[in-house]
Structure 1
Amino acid sequence: MSETSGPASGDVGAVIAGLWVYPVKSCAGVQVQEAILTETGLEFDRAWMVVDAQGAFLTQRELPRMALIQPQLKTHDMVLRAPGMLALHIALDQVQEPVCVTIWDDEVKAYDMGPIAAQWFSDFLGVKARLVRFDPEEKRASSRQWTGDVEALNQFSDGYPLLVLSEASLAGLNEKLQAAGATAVGMARFRPNIVLGDLSGDNGLAPHDEDRLELLQIATEQGVVQLKPVKPCPRCPIPNIDPVTALSSPEVGDALQTYRQDPRLKGAVSFGMNAIVLQGNDHLLRVGQSVTASYNFG
């Protein structure tokens, strides 16, 4: 199937308006024009993670300065930059010592990336830290409570391969922020992998339509990708952190509290949908590809 022919029609038509990869968990994202879809999400997404001296994962929740660490993916290496630091180069095809690390309640196998990377992160973050890479032989699965019979694998994401968010949802939030006298915010605060935008026509996306979609079908050169939204994304304080300054203020979380308390999450605030891969492993996703979906009326 060609990209122009598209998948089967549905209730909603959209396009991929943005693709984001977060190579190092909780550091800045990389906006890309195309990305290979793997069984664990977009290639290189959350492939690396920063851990403390005990091997427990570190995030912006405790260390907002992580937002200032900017990765750049090149052909053979990843380059990390941060204010006041020399660039750190991490080879994409090399690892060092095998280790075990913890992320939430999971203990997983990984590879330590060595003393130079450890010193770089420790110096910038002001805590004892190390950089590790996910062991590709490790099988870390999403919760079957939400994925049902599907074994959905992850690397160092919080629990699901992909996060899907629409431009319409962000626009709706920004209307509320500006009505309250606050400044509009960008998509980067919410760390999506796939951003959905509108096609021209009458069947575009309304705010939070991603909450109600049964299946996303994306036309690629290799065929049709099928993604299933399975769990609303509960929001921690990270969206309050300005990714440019690493300063936190409560306006975003306060606004979400007024209208996004989600009964599916026992009243926790949600924004965006976690999704799993049903079909399309190794397909190339590109900005501008067409997306069709049907509503879930269950």
Structure 2
Amino acid sequence: MRLSAIHTYPVKGCRRLDHDVAGVEPWGLAGDRRWMIVDADGVGVTQRETTRLVGLHATPHDGGLLLRAEGHDDLAVPEPVGGEPVAVRTFRNRKLPVPALPAGPAADAWIGALLGRAVRLVWLARPTRHIPPGDREHDTGEQVSFADAYPLLLATAASLDALNGWLAEAGEEPVPMARFRPNLVVEGAPAWAEDDWVGRR
């Protein structure tokens, strides 16, 4: 059994980065999903609704991000310092918002021009607290970045093979591992072995 791939997604919903090694923090891999693009309602934008996100390359740069896309000049985005946080949500049906810092109008305009819609880029300054500003009642103490639910998403190659076997039997096309956007991919373990690993150290 071996760890065959390590991935982070600096901007939620955008292209992944591949790593040989990665630091682990209480809220997941270092640099994973600390940034997110949101719509006018503060809801995270996904590739399902905005396919142009596929063309956005975001890489760590001097503590912030470097944004690249074909046909656009590169843009360096510094990590936001200070400023008023805004309430954002990773999903439209998620009631509990998260306070995040806006990256600024330059980043918003650059990404908006790429996507063809009004958006904002935000940064999660405190991934250890998922509560709206001033709302202590909903302070759960969860340590999660902009990931959908958990600090780390782990998948095994055998489980994907099993899933694709079922899809083939049903006459469906196979799905790639990238569809699940995992952080860690393990080879050499039996299918569904990861179900018994959850919560273990």
TM-score (norm 1): 0.56
**Could you tell me which of 24, 34, 38 is aligned with 1:37?**
24
Q: Secondary structure at the match of 1:34?
A: coil
How far, CA to CA, are the matches of 1:214 and 1:53 in structure 2?
36
**Could you tell me which of 3, 11, 25 is aligned with 1:24?**
11
**1:100 counterpart = 2:86:** yes
**1:73 counterpart = 2:63:** no
How far, CA to CA, are the matches of 2:130 and 2:63 in structure 1?
26
Q: Secondary structure at the match of 1:162?
A: coil
Note if contact 1:97-1:113 (Cα within 8 Å) is conserved in structure 2.
no
Look up the equivalent residue of 1:134 and give its one-letter code: L
Note if contact 2:5-2:18 (Cα within 8 Å) is conserved in structure 1.
yes
Mark the runs of 5 or more structure 1 residues left unpaired by the alignment. Answer: 1-13, 142-149, 199-204, 217-225, 227-298
**Could you tell me which of 160, 174, 180 is aligned with 2:150?**
160
Structure-1 residue corresponding to 2:192 = 208
Q: Secondary structure at the match of 1:98?
A: coil
**1:194 counterpart = 2:180:** no
Structure-2 residue corresponding to 1:53 = 40
Note if contact 1:108-1:138 (Cα within 8 Å) is conserved in structure 2.
no
Note if contact 2:112-2:119 (Cα within 8 Å) is conserved in structure 1.
yes
Superposed displacement of residue 80, structure 1: 2.1
**1:121 counterpart = 2:111:** yes
Look up the equivalent residue of 2:77 and give its one-letter code: I
Superposed displacement of residue 73, structure 1: 2.7
How large is the RMSD of aligned CA atoms in angstroms? 2.5
How far, CA to CA, are the matches of 1:94 and 1:112 in structure 2?
7
Structure-1 residue corresponding to 2:162 = 172
Give 1 or 2 for the bigger CA radius of gyration.
1
Flag the 1:215–1:99 CA change in 2: closer, same or farther, 3 A.
Answer: closer
How far, CA to CA, are the matches of 1:94 and 1:28 in structure 2?
21
Structure-1 residue corresponding to 2:99 = 109
Look up the equivalent residue of 2:159 and give its one-letter code: S
Flag the 1:25–1:137 CA change in 2: closer, same or farther, 3 A.
Answer: closer
Flag the 1:71–1:137 CA change in 2: closer, same or farther, 3 A.
Answer: closer
Flag the 1:70–1:173 CA change in 2: closer, same or farther, 3 A.
Answer: farther
Equivalent residues in 2 for 1:126-137, closer than 5 Å: 126-136=116-126
Q: Secondary structure at the match of 1:153?
A: coil
Higher-strand-fraction structure? 1
Identity of aligned residues (%): 33
Note if contact 2:80-2:101 (Cα within 8 Å) is conserved in structure 1.
no
Look up the equivalent residue of 1:197 and give its one-letter code: E
Flag the 1:96–1:53 CA change in 2: closer, same or farther, 3 A.
Answer: farther
Look up the equivalent residue of 2:122 and give its one-letter code: V
Flag the 1:172–1:160 CA change in 2: closer, same or farther, 3 A.
Answer: same
Flag the 1:75–1:172 CA change in 2: closer, same or farther, 3 A.
Answer: farther
How far, CA to CA, are the matches of 1:107 and 1:177 in structure 2?
36
Q: Secondary structure at the match of 1:35?
A: coil
Flag the 1:85–1:172 CA change in 2: closer, same or farther, 3 A.
Answer: farther
Deviations 1:164-196 (A, max 9, x none): 111111222344455667665432221001111
Superposed displacement of residue 28, structure 1: 1.2
How far, CA to CA, are the matches of 1:59 and 1:95 in structure 2?
26
Look up the equivalent residue of 2:146 and give its one-letter code: F
Note if contact 1:39-1:152 (Cα within 8 Å) is conserved in structure 2.
no
TM-score (norm 2): 0.81
How far, CA to CA, are the matches of 2:27 and 2:175 in structure 1?
28
Look up the equivalent residue of 2:10 and give its one-letter code: P
